[in-house]
Structure 1
Amino acid sequence: MCGIAGIFHAETPKPVDPVRVERMCEALVHRGPDGSGVWTGPGVGLGHRRLSVIDLEGSPQPMHSADGRSVIVFNGEIYNFRELRGELEAAGARFRTSGDTEVILAAYDRWGVDCLDRLDGMFAFALYDRDKRALFLARDRFGVKPLFLAQLSDGSLAFASELKGLLAHPLLRRRVSPQSLDAYLAWGYVPDSHAILSGTSKLPAGHFLWIEQGKGVPQPRRWWDMDFTQREKGSEADLSAQLLHLMRDAVQSRMVADVPLGAFLSGGVDSSSVVALMSEASAAPVRTCSIGFDVAALDETSHAETVARTFGTLHTARRVGHDDFAAVDGLAAMFDEPFADASALPTWRVCQIAREQVTVALSGDGADEAFAGYRRQVFHRNEERVRALLPGGVREHLFGRLGTLWPKADWAPRPLRAKATLLALAGSGEEGYAHGLSVTTPEQRAALYSDEFARGLAGYRAEDELVALMRSAPARGGLDRAQYADLAFWLPGGILTKVDRTSMAVSLEAREPLLDHRLVQFAARLPDRMRVRGGTGKYLLKRCMERYLPQDILYRPKQGFVTPIAEWLRGPLAGEARAIAASPVIAQSGFFEPRALARLAEAHIAGRSDNSRVLWQLLMLEKSLTRLGISS
């Protein structure tokens, strides 16, 4: 695992200062503490920071191809590099190293940009073709590894694994994009379709960028997408056998490393499944770690300990409390962009625990998106059935009126909190899913914005992007569209960003076997009844794992990695909630109406409503603005 950065002059081959590239890489030293390198050519500079995982001494970067034609910097792992190497050697290729970086160079030399289809892994790389004077930037199918871009005033394109790499370039302007800020407040993170600074962007998951000098910078091109339009046929037993085979292959391929390896273990179905299959494939005990909370109702460490005992793992567990809030400034520094998933704090802590013993850790991320494990996906499927029974006009009148009259009732038991469902049924399925996925509605955000900031949005509404994505999804039904949205939108911007930044902050490589693209594509072809049964998701996955895991692990109610932030902001952190409205950074930004923020905090502290997610968003925004020195 590594960090990459570079500069490319797309129009004229101006000289690139290697010191400038080196400074961009120095900002990424946490991603690669084991080595560094910079290479420059006419109009191009490539830089690299290395975390040694495979071929510890033999694969320094930037790396040149055997014939000197191409140069690459690469962040990630190619899990099938040995199979590809054998195929390329049979075709005449010769290798000087035993790692995966040189395999990408040889694959490009043989297949050009089509080499991407043959790569099984997580990656972001920059490859410069000296003969064609072209830069080839690419990102893996699901966006496990990040890549930020910026077009600068001198005509160059700068790129880096994290925004902090771009921030090290003196020509980068630090001005907030109003649309990106609205998207952040809608979702709790800045999605991959945006970047927080005007003039910056992210290469989307499953896309590449091919730039030839003298021809300008084109739009990224998609090289891979999920497909929910096909269906697998066969009995439940046959499909279960196929699924287990794919899961075993995915786990075993991600256990290849020349350094100590372990796993995150939350005690849920997904991480427990990964640990079970790791234990099956390993002669030695698997090293596992988990994190808990100081609020008993949200603490899952006992379930993790049950799984650890079942498979005889070497297990370490610790707890996070409200006093860990002191680390929030460090959290903001990891993400650069504001990031408001409060579970980032315990994720960081569990990465710290893992790094004490291993360099690589496997996680269970991706299964909820791929196998319909979220309640919202199941609700959406059921809501779409209701929508199909009633004309739009009837639904809009009936459910819209009921939803308007129904109290918000954040304090009530879940069955009585029907307001969101009723309002969702009044509109389209895509609008309803966007509403369910978002932290705030457009109306709630508008009530917080200053008049000037609202005018700057020029009618932009963050939800429209997700609605358009779902409507154009390669899908058959509502469940397909919900899962596609989660895999294409929620996963790269939220879950994978969280895991990448918190693991890389401690120089730990995290791998996601349940995001193997063959496994995900198989899951996308499963009939609805193999994904959702009896009102809950991940049906076939759970049935498949019954031979390994205890029933109370497989079938207890899903809890998720929930941080007790609502309780903290009403109790020991109430002062932090109140301080947001009076923050000079927030006030000077001109983005918000301070009195509206004050009312938001007081309503939460008094228990009249649960505004914890919005307050945490504002808190993390303040920390990001402070650290980065961003102006409005």
Structure 2
Amino acid sequence: MGSVHEWGRSLMGCRLRSTGVSGFVAIARLDGTPVDVDAVERAVSVITHRGPDGRRSLVDGSVALAHLQHRTTPWPTGFPLQDGRVLVTGAARIDNRAALRDRLGPFDDPVSDAALVLAAYRQWGRACPVHLVGAYAVAIVDRAADRVFLARDHAGLRPAFLARTADRVAVASDIEPLLALEWVTTAVDDGVVVEGLVGAASSAARTIYADVDRLPAGTSATVTTDGIERRRHWRPEAIDPLDLPSDRAYEVGFRELFDRAVADRCRGPAVGSLLSGGLDSSAVTCAAAGHRSQIPTYSLGFDATPVSDEREYARAVVDHVGARSTVVDGDAPGPFADAEAMLSAVGRPIRGNTTYLHWRLYRAAAADVDVVLGGFGGDAVVSHGLGRLTDLARRGHWLGLARELRARAHHRGESPWRRLYTDAVRPLVPRSARRLARRLRDGDPIERLSPVIDRDRARAVAWPDRLRQAQVTPSPLATHRERQVAGLARPNWQFDLEAANALGAAAGVEPRFPFFDRRLMAFCIGMPADQSLRDGVSRSILRRAVELPERVRDRHHKSSLAPAYRRALVDEREQIRQLYDTTPDALWRYLDRDACLGALDRAAEGPFPALTARVYRPGMLAAWSHHRPDAPKH
């Protein structure tokens, strides 16, 4: 048996407010030679912020495992754990605990997440992820089978990155511990850099570092001396369609699953909720109020840009459930004020142009709570149901289509003819025709998507071909269901969830997103399209099944954060200019310096299209180039 070391524990009942979500590191020598314990320590030392409630390591010859714990559930995590010749570490919150205990028990109380994961692996082997519901990324070393088994939850709620050679593999919750290993270089993948500048991704597995891969969401991997074998264990396209007897049955089914998803995520010492006033965050907050009395909420206020402000809707929810409210200033500072701290946490250029606002909310929430709920993902999971309009048009159900279009146009205050083209006709136009039309209208696709990219570099990494790979837009003949599944398959969801996890850890709070509950997702994917779009009302099932304030339930428009973001970004243009002036020359392999500087000047003159592509993403890449971990190896 290996030796377990434990240190750095906090006092009972004392919560440290400097850190958030748990992390882990696993290193295994596939050739059986002893692992370098000092290398493990170097790897762990760069993510100590993830372990306010203790740090445990397990070293057994050719294997070294570490877990940094932030305890946000009533039961222990239990990582790392060894049972004979099987060792496991990771970061996990297992939600179907009762079912697993009944099937795999008996267990000593309180049963840890690690014990459930290890028992599931003992029972089902590499098929165990199918039986695990929750948020997890785990590394299991099975010496009897001479393999290292890795698994990540269906949505990518817990990150997992890996680096490997012919005789060793390392896995971690963050990129930085892997870069701390002497055999992992900081060489950059030029193609991923270019993709990031246009907000696309041709592969979920690649990261900005050539030596570091991502374990994609819903995937497991088996690493042996023969190489690596990846398997998908989450296949939303294979979910059976639902055929319930009535609308009432769908409402009851959705309500029960949604309430369970929220309740499972309300487990923890102190829980709050992010509340924008939109449908998703309002539904989460209202459901959470049934499990947490006077739940604290955190909302953004935009006094300088009232068009972005939604406090009136957030107040309606607060009054409806008797919650406590904290309003965070959303106007200032902008995305680059805390860029160094955010980039240090995430480890790569941050794609989301409003991520800085979530960072601000996480920091505010960390003063009061350990866990914060959010409505992220609701749009995609529940679906607006617009694919139903295309379905009706394709099937020739013209009366039903006309009825839905008139109702939708009425709710949105728009012309039915505009809705006919936008929602029903345009999606039926073949992609090749749309690409040709864009090419004739906009010219070079590189110029259209990001006018500041260096064209020679983009072509050198075969960017036009990669762009086609990155586009997961379904066929014009795709059904509503196929469109929904394709939308959820976009790698950007994983990237955003990873950023939320890392920023929450750095701020001191664990973000949890009920809409990404696997059981709820399966229900929503299986629903008929008319449960998502009904009488012109999008996301109908959510409005019907969850008790919401009337003011929120009946709204059909959402305020845009774009004006506030634009104002903040323009105010920071001199800071971005200074980043450009001091940026290493290597950055200009990817960007046209004159175009970047010209975009800053034009942004100051008034409304300016493609601000994210022309200013935000290049500026964030420049900021990352200042803070990337490129120090010499030990």
Q: TM-score, normalised by structure 1?
A: 0.83
Over the residues paired in the alignment, what is the CA RMSD in angstroms?
Answer: 3.3
Hey, what does 1:613 align to over in structure 2?
Answer: 612
1:33 to 52, 58, 70: 52
Confirm or deny: 8 A CA contact 2:206 2:213 kept in the other structure.
yes
- Structure 1 window deviating more from structure 2 (575-584 vs 290-299): it is 575-584
2:300 to 287, 291, 301: 291
Give the 3 Å change call, closer, same or farther, for CA 560–191 of structure 1 in structure 2.
farther
Hey, what does 2:375 align to over in structure 1?
Answer: 364
Where 1:505 maps in the other structure, the secondary structure is helix
Confirm or deny: 8 A CA contact 1:6 1:45 kept in the other structure.
yes
- Matches of residues 454-473 of structure 1 in structure 2 within 5 Å? 454-458=458-462, 461-467=465-471, 470=474
Distance 2:124 2:550 in 1: 47
Hey, what does 2:3 align to over in structure 1?
Answer: none
Distance 1:522 1:589 in 2: 47
Hey, what does 2:130 align to over in structure 1?
Answer: 117
Structure 2 residue runs without a partner (length 5+): 1-20, 397-417, 439-443
Residue 269 (structure 2) pairs with residue 269 (structure 1): no
Confirm or deny: 8 A CA contact 1:54 1:99 kept in the other structure.
no
Hey, what does 2:404 align to over in structure 1?
Answer: none
- Matches of residues 531-546 of structure 1 in structure 2 within 5 Å? 531-533=532-534, 535-545=536-546
Distance 1:536 1:465 in 2: 33
Where 2:89 maps in the other structure, the secondary structure is strand
- Matches of residues 151-190 of structure 1 in structure 2 within 5 Å? 151-152=164-165, 155-187=167-199
Confirm or deny: 8 A CA contact 1:531 1:539 kept in the other structure.
yes
Confirm or deny: 8 A CA contact 1:208 1:221 kept in the other structure.
yes
> How many Å apart are 1:452 and its aligned residue?
4.6
- Matches of residues 95-114 of structure 1 in structure 2 within 5 Å? 95=108, 97-114=110-127
Where 1:610 maps in the other structure, the secondary structure is coil
Give, as a single letter, the amino acid of the residue that structure 2 aligns with 1:444: R
> How many Å apart are 1:511 and its aligned residue?
1.7
Hey, what does 1:524 align to over in structure 2?
Answer: 525
Confirm or deny: 8 A CA contact 1:124 1:137 kept in the other structure.
yes
Give the 3 Å change call, closer, same or farther, for CA 419–462 of structure 1 in structure 2.
farther
Residue 408 (structure 2) pairs with residue 428 (structure 1): no
Q: Deviations over 1:244-273 (max 9, x none)?
A: 11112222222223x222222221111111
Q: Deviations over 1:182-210 (max 9, x none)?
A: 22122278962320011221001111112
Where 2:150 maps in the other structure, the secondary structure is strand
Distance 1:544 1:613 in 2: 37
Distance 2:433 2:54 in 1: 47
> How many Å apart are 1:621 and its aligned residue?
0.8
Residue 498 (structure 2) pairs with residue 497 (structure 1): yes
> How many Å apart are 1:468 and its aligned residue?
5.5
Give the 3 Å change call, closer, same or farther, for CA 151–119 of structure 1 in structure 2.
same
Confirm or deny: 8 A CA contact 2:27 2:168 kept in the other structure.
yes
- Matches of residues 251-266 of structure 1 in structure 2 within 5 Å? 251-257=262-268, 259-266=269-276
> How many Å apart are 1:33 and its aligned residue?
1.9
Residue 591 (structure 2) pairs with residue 592 (structure 1): yes
Give, as a single letter, the amino acid of the residue that structure 1 aligns with 2:140: L
Give, as a single letter, the amino acid of the residue that structure 2 aligns with 1:237: R
Give the 3 Å change call, closer, same or farther, for CA 528–224 of structure 1 in structure 2.
same
Hey, what does 2:101 align to over in structure 1?
Answer: 85
Hey, what does 1:400 align to over in structure 2?
Answer: none
Distance 1:87 1:346 in 2: 43
Hey, what does 1:148 align to over in structure 2?
Answer: 161
Hey, what does 2:260 align to over in structure 1?
Answer: 249
> How many Å apart are 1:541 and its aligned residue?
1.0
> How many Å apart are 1:490 and its aligned residue?
4.8
Hey, what does 1:199 align to over in structure 2?
Answer: 211
Distance 1:532 1:334 in 2: 39
Give, as a single letter, the amino acid of the residue that structure 2 aligns with 1:14: T
Q: Deviations over 1:130-158 (max 9, x none)?
A: 32232111000111111111225x74222
- Structure 1 window deviating more from structure 2 (288-297 vs 359-368): it is 288-297
Hey, what does 2:14 align to over in structure 1?
Answer: none
Confirm or deny: 8 A CA contact 2:187 2:210 kept in the other structure.
yes
Where 1:220 maps in the other structure, the secondary structure is strand
> How many Å apart are 1:484 and its aligned residue?
1.8
Hey, what does 2:6 align to over in structure 1?
Answer: none
Distance 1:71 1:243 in 2: 38
1:442 to 442, 446, 449: 446
Distance 2:433 2:499 in 1: 25
- Matches of residues 178-577 of structure 1 in structure 2 within 5 Å? 178-187=190-199, 192-212=204-224, 214=225, 216-227=226-237, 230-257=241-268, 259-282=269-292, 284-293=293-302, 294-324=304-334, 325-373=336-384, 378=386, 427-428=430-431, 441-444=445-448, 447-450=451-454, 452-458=456-462, 461-467=465-471, 470=474, 477-490=478-491, 492-533=493-534, 535-545=536-546, 547-559=547-559, 564-570=564-570, 572-577=571-576
Give the 3 Å change call, closer, same or farther, for CA 482–62 of structure 1 in structure 2.
same
Hey, what does 1:403 align to over in structure 2?
Answer: none
Where 2:228 maps in the other structure, the secondary structure is coil
Confirm or deny: 8 A CA contact 2:278 2:552 kept in the other structure.
no
> How many Å apart are 1:427 and its aligned residue?
4.3
Distance 2:116 2:126 in 1: 14
> How many Å apart are 1:287 and its aligned residue?
2.2
Give the 3 Å change call, closer, same or farther, for CA 177–147 of structure 1 in structure 2.
same
Distance 1:460 1:70 in 2: 46
> How many Å apart are 1:483 and its aligned residue?
2.2
Q: Deviations over 1:148-170 (max 9, x none)?
A: 11225x74222211111212222
Confirm or deny: 8 A CA contact 1:604 1:611 kept in the other structure.
no
Give the 3 Å change call, closer, same or farther, for CA 424–466 of structure 1 in structure 2.
farther
> How many Å apart are 1:482 and its aligned residue?
3.2
2:73 to 38, 54, 58: 54
Distance 1:60 1:302 in 2: 44
Q: Deviations over 1:215-270 (max 9, x none)?
A: x222311111113662434322221121111112222222223x222222221111
Give the 3 Å change call, closer, same or farther, for CA 304–162 of structure 1 in structure 2.
same
Hey, what does 1:8 align to over in structure 2?
Answer: 28
Give, as a single letter, the amino acid of the residue that structure 1 aligns with 2:250: L
Distance 1:179 1:536 in 2: 41
Distance 2:473 2:82 in 1: 39
Give the 3 Å change call, closer, same or farther, for CA 155–139 of structure 1 in structure 2.
same
Count matched residues: 578
Distance 1:516 1:600 in 2: 41
Give the 3 Å change call, closer, same or farther, for CA 130–494 of structure 1 in structure 2.
closer
- Matches of residues 67-82 of structure 1 in structure 2 within 5 Å? 68-82=84-98
Q: Deviations over 1:13-35 (max 9, x none)?
A: 23211221122122222222211
Distance 1:421 1:240 in 2: 27
Distance 1:441 1:47 in 2: 46
Where 2:349 maps in the other structure, the secondary structure is coil
Where 2:90 maps in the other structure, the secondary structure is strand
Distance 1:581 1:430 in 2: 39
